[in-house]
Chains A and B, each alone.
Chain A
C-alpha cells in the first residue's frame, strides 16, 4: 500500500501567523502531486497540481514546493486569515495494477486560524 503522510495532523494559529505543512510520498515512479483545500461542509477544491521536481506554485498568500527526488512537498500560507481555516489534503498519483494511475490521498492537515 502506498503511503502519503501529512504533518502536522492539525494546527491552530493566530491571524497573521505564517505556517507550513508537509506532505511526504514515495519518491519512486513519481507522476503528479496535488494539493486540495477542504472547507467544512463543502467538497475539496484543487489548489495546486505539480508534476516537475523543483516546481513552485503560488496562489495569493498560498504557495507550494515540490521535491520529487526526496519525496516531499511543502504548502506555505503567509499571513494566515480566518478564512484560511480548512483541511489541506495532499494527493499522489500512482500507477494502478491495471496500468491506469489513481490518486491516493493523505489524511490531511486541519488548520484553524483564530482572529
Chain B
C-alpha cells in the first residue's frame, strides 16, 4: 500500500497561473479532504469529498476547485494563483467520518510569487 500520495512535492507559481495538485489513495477510502497549513493557523479545510461525485466546501474554499470522478483521486485546482495561496497543502483520506482516523499525504509546498 502506497497510502496517500501527493504530487508535486514542491511548486513555484507566478501570480495568475493555474495548476492542479494531485492526490491519490489506494486504501479504497470514501472520504478525502484537502487542507492548507499556514504558520500559526493550524490545518484548515479547503474542500472535501464523501465519495465519488460528491464534494463540498470547507472553511477556506475561495480560489480552489475540486472534483472527484473516482474513489482513488481527488485533485485540487488553483484557478488563478495568488500570493495568499502560498502554503503547504495536505491531502487526507479516511474510511469515513467520526471514529475513522485520517491518513495524510506527504504534502505539497507551494510558493506563489
Chain A residues close to B by CB (< 8 Å): 1, 31-32, 34, 36, 42-46, 49, 51, 89, 91, 93, 96, 98, 100-108
B48 at the A/B interface (Cβ < 8 Å)? yes
Contacts known (A44-B104, A100-B50); A32 close to B56, Cβ less than 8 A: no
- Find out whether the CB atom of A31 lies under 8 angstroms from the CB atom of B98: yes
B102 at the A/B interface (Cβ < 8 Å)? yes
B107 at the A/B interface (Cβ < 8 Å)? yes
**22 A-B pairs with C-beta separation under 8 A:** A31-B97, A31-B98, A32-B97, A32-B98, A34-B101, A36-B102, A42-B106, A43-B105, A44-B102, A46-B101, A46-B103, A49-B99, A51-B99, A93-B98, A96-B56, A100-B56, A100-B97, A102-B45, A102-B48, A103-B33, A105-B43, A108-B42
> Chain B 75-113, CB within 8 Å of chain A: the 1/0 string?
000000000000000100000011111111111000000
Chain B residues contacting A31 (CB-CB under 8 Å) are: 97-98
Chain B residues contacting A42 (CB-CB under 8 Å) are: 106
B2 at the A/B interface (Cβ < 8 Å)? no
CA distance A101 to B35 in the complex (A): 15
Chain B residues contacting A45 (CB-CB under 8 Å) are: 104
CA distance A45 to B105 in the complex (A): 10
Shortest Cβ distance from A48 into B: residue: B101
> Chain B 50-65, CB within 8 Å of chain A: the 1/0 string?
1000001011000000
Give min CB distance, A30 to chain B, whole Å. Answer: 10
B41 at the A/B interface (Cβ < 8 Å)? yes
Chain A residues contacting B33 (CB-CB under 8 Å) are: 102-103
